[in-house]
Amino acid sequence: MLLQLNLQSETPIYLQIRNEIVRGIGEGLLEENEPLPSVRQLARDLSIDKMTVNKAYQLLKEEGFIQIDPRAGTRIKKIAPPDENTLTDLAASLKPILLSAKAKGISWPTFINLSSQIFCKGEYK
């Protein structure tokens, strides 16, 4: 999978890395148990600081997307079926987005159509 970063974007770089890897998992570009580059190597290839990559990897680990093993390296984690906590977290993340959409006058069918396109195809056109 090709990771793409925009250094002029307002989104912090570590968050961009996190978002790119999550996008890869979501779109099926990164498969379960697939190895990821080491912190050092990815930092070298992107010409950024090691701490930035480390921060992104720690965030992904906390969110349960990857597992970091000092011997086996970093790999994409087997995604467990969503439990109650996952749904609660998702609801918390969605709430401001949904309310913002409602405030901007976006209708429910339009929102559903937009969400299903992103969910199935990975992008909205």
Partner 1 sequence: MISWILWSSLIVIWFSFLMVMLGMNNRKKNIVLGIQIPTPYEESEEVAYILKKYRRQRNVWAVIFFSLSFIIFLFHHFTLIYGYFLIYFLTIFVFSFWVNYSNQRQLKDLKRKAKWISPSTNIRYADTKLSLDENGPQLPRIFWMFLPLPLIVMPFFLYRQEDLFTALLIPGTTLFLWALLLFVFMLFRKTPQKIYTGDTKKDLYYNSIFKKRLLWASILTLWYFSLSNLLFAYMLTRTSFLQSPHLPLFIGIVSLCSGIFFVASFLWNQHTLRKIKIPAFLEEEAYDTNVAGMFYFDPHNPKTFIMKSNGMSSGVNLATKKGRVYMASTLGITFLLLVGILFYLIGNDLVDPHIDFFEDHLRVQSFDYKDTLYYRDIEEIYLVDQLKYGYKSSGSATETYLRGNFFYKGLGKSRVYVFRDHPPYLIIKSKNKTIIFNEKSAQNTLALKEALEKQQTKH
Collect all residues with Cβ–Cβ distance below 8 Å to 99 and sequence separation of at least 6.
Answer: none
- Residues of this chain, 41-60, that bind partner 1 according to CB under 8 A: 41-42, 44-48
Query: Of 14, 4, 6, 8, which Cα lies nearest the Cα of 53?
Result: 14
Map residues 22-41 to x or -, x wherever contact with partner 1 holds by CB under 8 A: --x-----x---xxxxx--x
Residue number, 70 or 81, with CB nearest to partner 1? 70
Among 1, 15, 98, 101, binds partner 1 (CB under 8 A): 1
Taking the complex as a whole, the smallest distance from the CB of residue 7 to partner 1 amounts, in Å, to 4
In the block, residue with structure tokens 């570590």: 14
Taking the complex as a whole, the smallest distance from the CB of residue 86 to partner 1 amounts, in Å, to 25
- Three-state DSSP at 72 gives coil
Which neighbouring-strand residues pair with 35? 75
Q: How far apart are CA 87 and CA 73, in angstroms?
A: 29
User: Does position 4 bind partner 1 by CB under 8 A?
Assistant: yes
Interface contacts to partner 1, rule CB under 8 A: 1-8, 24, 30, 34-38, 41-42, 44-48
